A and B are shown apart, each in its own frame.
Chain A
Amino acid sequence: MKFDSPATTNPIDRLKVVGQPFSRIDGPLKTTGTAPYAYERHDVAANQAYGYVVGAAIGKGRIAGIDLGKAKTAPGVLAIVTAENAGKLGKGRLNTAKLLGGPEIQHYHQAIAVVVAETFEQARAAAALIRVDYAKEQGAFDLASLTDKAKPNAITGGPADTAVGDFAAAFAAAPVRLDARYSTPDEAHAMMEPHATIAAWQGDKLMLWTSNQMIAWNAAEMATILGIPKENVRLDSPFVGGGFGGKLFPRADALLAALGARAAKRPVKVALQRPLMFNNTTHRPATIQRIRIGATTDGKITAIGHESWSGDLAGGKADGAVSQTRLLYAGAHRMTATRLATLDLPEGNAMRAPGEATGMMALEIAMDEMAEKLGIDPVQFRIVNDTQVDPEKPERPFSQRQLVECLRNGAARFGWSRRNPQPGRMRDGRWLVGMGAAAAFRNNLLTKSAARVRLDSSGIVTVETDMTDIGTGSYTIIAQTAAEMMGVPLEKVKVRLGDSAFPVSAGSGGQWGGNNSTAGVYAACVKLREAIAQKLGFNSAEAEFADGEVRAGNRRVPLTQAAGEAGITAEDEIEYGDLAKKYQQSTFGAHFVEVGVDAATAEIRVRRMLAVCAAGRILNPKTARSQVIGAMTMGVGAALMEELVVDRRAGFFVNHDLAGYEVPVHADIPHQDMFFLDETDPMSSPMKAKGVAELGICGVAAAVANAVYNATGVRVRDYPITLDKLLERMPDVG
């Protein structure tokens, strides 16, 4: 199905099932511990052996010698694979660094060997017996010292640089100006389930039971790396215990399980050890950002400029921190620039709202600073500078843009009017109290997605697509879509996901999964409806599917009967025309945060948070809400604690476990709420839905930062905002 004109009325609009707050249909499996996650799939292949990954001990250099002698003869050892004996490996297009290093070492904890043994403990013990001599080389590990050498680099969805009007002149002429530098640190996905794979070979065919967000990408990528035909690789990833972008691409677990299984001649399972994950895999790269805003005294932005520097391994790509500044606020004169430095740290890559999240962390502090300079309420300042068109290409309107409504609605719900614009004036016992706001803004991405739908004689509708559920609720919204389309209750729908043998879906990433994968299911269901109608001799345009029946005129046929003994199957794909070119499709929101800062210790604690979002049709308010509050929590982490600390001498992230890399715990999030505004977006898909999973993280860290400023009068522009950055400038303790 080609979607190239705005959606009109369709069966989804009935909203009998879609749009209802169903609990996730896979919930019982998860709460009973019976959802099959990759490492626990003991039943899928007999005789599984265990692989243990050895990570490089240096940041950059070469392996001068590797002694496997003792490890080879250790109890239980079946095979050891290194770059020396792995055979020729190709380079995939999705990863910058090699998944199996050696002799060249590109980054710390790059995998250099996998030890396969009868038990996990034997593999681990043997891995510790491997002796490696390294020839260390000087590496580049400090982004701040390399900004001068950084080069222009395109970002996802746009060029490195953009310019409209005459920014320099307009900025110089603006009566009110801000010119500030911000920084965001390297961050880890730190998802609960580690990267894990069980691999088994049958002849030259490889089966991977793994944990992955993008099935088709990864089947192809693994084939490239292993040098085998794509059709010889099959992936199965029905459940994923968190990804956040860390499982978009194949990682060392999948490759080393495959190589280990080939060497050991039996199935092998590999999970990345937690202490390896932070340096072995990808991370959100650190940024340094400069933002300049010029405005008239009544608060109209006349000039806005955003520059960003990030680093990556040679051949890598830049963080797209400037992307949202291209679209968020009005202003006739504008510029953005993206520079990339070469670093020898582990590979930087996508993490939840890549670019958007980091850029909004800086931009939305800058907006708060500018509002203060102007003496305008920061919510009002954003409203004054709203735009309904792409400010770089004014001929492109937004398909829907309710930023102003989100800000107003949120301000009213939150009690924003009680905020004292003078910092440091609100007090509750030992706490200095402050409120902060920020816009939330993330684009909606369209990408084709296919599904297969089968109606059987018992009236069960089975959906098959390689879409993944990474904790987001894909199973549930896909089931709701099929139920709505076929006129059956939710429990009559079975959803099977994550298998590369199924039609290729959008996958999970960039908050594109929900809208696109359900639109693909919609397309397949339309085809199935047509096939059923045709079989029954109904005019398919008139056929109504409701209450388990097909109706046309005064004829009614139960679906069980329509299916017949053989059942009916249909498959289709949603494809998109140029609506996304003609219209900027985005999701919007407003974050409001109240913090307390301990007057003595400067400890920062979030007291309450609110987000109001407008993100197209909400397919399931319960799972969508979970996505947003989870993203808000992740934003609190980014604001207050998350930082991969670089050891600039040895070139690695020092705090590489969950004791050292802190993310929020329950006690950090005492009160959190979110609301969706009514919206349907006919430009997005027949579902009229948009992404929502990443909207929630965009801007929230800045709202926290702005609240800390409002509480204390101390402006911190370097994340995370920790007490040591406040302490010296805190108001005196009485």
Chain B
Amino acid sequence: MKSFSYERARTPAEAAASALRRPDAKFIAGGTNLLDLMKLEIETPAHLVDVNGLALDKIEATPEGGLRIGALVRNTDLAADSRIRRDYGVLSRALLAGASGQLRNKATTAGNLLQRTRCPYFYDTNQPCNKRRPGSGCSAIGGFSRQHAVIGASEACIATHPSDMAVAMRALDVTVEAVRPDGTTRNIPIADFHRLPGDTPHIETTLQPGELITAVTLPKPVGGTHVYRKVRDRASYAFALVSVAAIVQRDGSGRVALGGVAHKPWRVEAADAELPRGARAVATKLLANARPTRDNAFKLALAERTIGAALTEAKG
């Protein structure tokens, strides 16, 4: 671990300003991902801005009929919130499918969105990785890539985003609220929040330098049946090979987003329209132009079958 300086921010804007002043700074909240990465010197911030003291831990109703989730709401608390369980079941289920009880107690809403990939080459500092060391190359291409992206990847990176929560949030079309150093706020639709790797896989979101996530806003409930299916080799405490967040209405319409297949939660609005025609039609639209590796080509069939299972489950 590299030495770093540390401060406790008193207001979101102050935190943002501090981070802007120090390009080598990182925010720290739950630390469930960042601290591990710092110990391995995958992340080497010279300055940490601790945001845990900011009062961003409430879940409040919005005038639009939705909910505003503070950035520091812990995953456990968010999953257990009665309003979330009642109106946004897919989010609660996705959260509970992730990590372990201990980690969910610590991990925050904003931190979950910002967690880094679990590509094993990203974790081994001896190996080239464009995400860790831009320009060094991608070891996963031609290497062990069973967990990796099948769509939206690039010649520079085939990593996936590991979050379950973000997949549900993509299906729910949340808005990410960020504060800027000048105290003004910006709302970013979740669809625009995570980036595809392109030739800059180390830049993972559209947050600008200094911007701090303050909340995630859920639109008013959309109803329907909420399903989250996470497919993995062991029954718990594993990242998704493929996951499906589905919200299905009584008339068969709805939304579907995939996890474990891309550098970001994967949703194609045109695929939603195929829902009444079944899993194959949805998967064909969702995964058009997929370019899997030999190790992970199974994810295409798996995604289709898991969508099918989710739709069956939704029909009850």
Q: Which A residues lie at the B interface, using CB under 8 A?
A: 57-58, 121, 124-125, 128, 275, 430, 598, 600-603, 605, 640-641, 645, 647, 649-650, 654-657, 659-660, 662, 664-668, 720, 722-724, 727-728, 733
Contact = CB atoms under 8 A, between A and B. Distances in A.
Contact of B306 (A121, A600, A650): A600
A330 to B, nearest CB: 38
Contacts of B123: 275, 657, 660
B233 A600 contact: no
Contacts of B305: 600-602, 727, 733
Interface string B1-13: 1110000000000
17 contacts: A58-B126, A128-B2, A275-B124, A600-B309, A603-B233, A647-B143, A649-B143, A650-B143, A654-B144, A660-B120, A666-B236, A668-B235, A720-B233, A723-B233, A727-B298, A727-B301, A733-B309
Contacts of A668: 234-236
Contact of B302 (A641, A649, A657, A723): A723
B315 interface: no
A275 B233 contact: no
Interface size class of B (residues with CB under 8 A): 35 or more
Contact of B121 (A124, A654, A720, A723): A654
Nearest to B238: A662
Contact of B231 (A603, A640, A720): A603
A524 B286 CA distance: 73
Given A649-B142, A722-B233, 7 more contacts: A601-B306, A655-B144, A656-B120, A660-B123, A667-B236, A723-B233, A733-B305
Contact of A640 (B3, B40, B233): B233
Interface in B113-145: 118, 120-121, 123-124, 126-127, 139, 142-144
A121 B146 contact: no
Contacts, number: 97
A430 B233 contact: no
Nearest to A604: B233
Contacts of A655: 120, 144
Contacts of B3: 125
A723 B234 contact: no
B1 A124 contact: yes
Contacts of A603: 231-233
Nearest to A721: B233
Contacts of A667: 234-237
Nearest to B118: A659
Q: Which A-B residue pairs are the 7 nearest by beta carbons?
A: A600-B309, A667-B235, A57-B126, A724-B298, A667-B236, A654-B144, A600-B305
Interface of B: 1-3, 39-41, 118, 120-121, 123-124, 126-127, 139, 142-144, 146, 229, 231-239, 241-242, 298, 301-302, 305-306, 308-309, 312
A645 B144 CA distance: 7
Contacts of B121: 654
Contacts of A58: 126
Contacts of B302: 601-602, 723-724, 727
Contacts of A662: 233-234, 238
A655 B143 CA distance: 12
A605 B146 CA distance: 20
Q: Which of A275, A600, A641 has the most CB of B within 10 A?
A: A600
B233 A641 contact: yes
Contacts of A666: 236
Contacts of A645: 144, 146
A668 B237 CA distance: 10
Given A600-B309, A605-B235, A665-B235, A654 B241 contact: no
Given A603-B232, A654-B120, A733-B308, A275 B127 contact: no
Contacts of A124: 1, 39
Contacts of A728: 298, 301
A724 B305 CA distance: 12
A41 to B, nearest CB: 23
Contacts of B144: 645, 647, 654-655
A430 B309 contact: yes
A665 B234 contact: yes
B40 A275 contact: yes
Contacts of B298: 723-724, 727-728
Contacts of A650: 127, 139, 143
Contacts of A605: 235
B42 to A, nearest CB: 11
Contacts of A724: 146, 298, 302
Nearest to B128: A650
A603 B232 CA distance: 7
A430 B309 CA distance: 9
Q: Which of B2, B41, B229, B309 has the most CB of A within 10 A?
A: B309
Contacts of B146: 645, 724
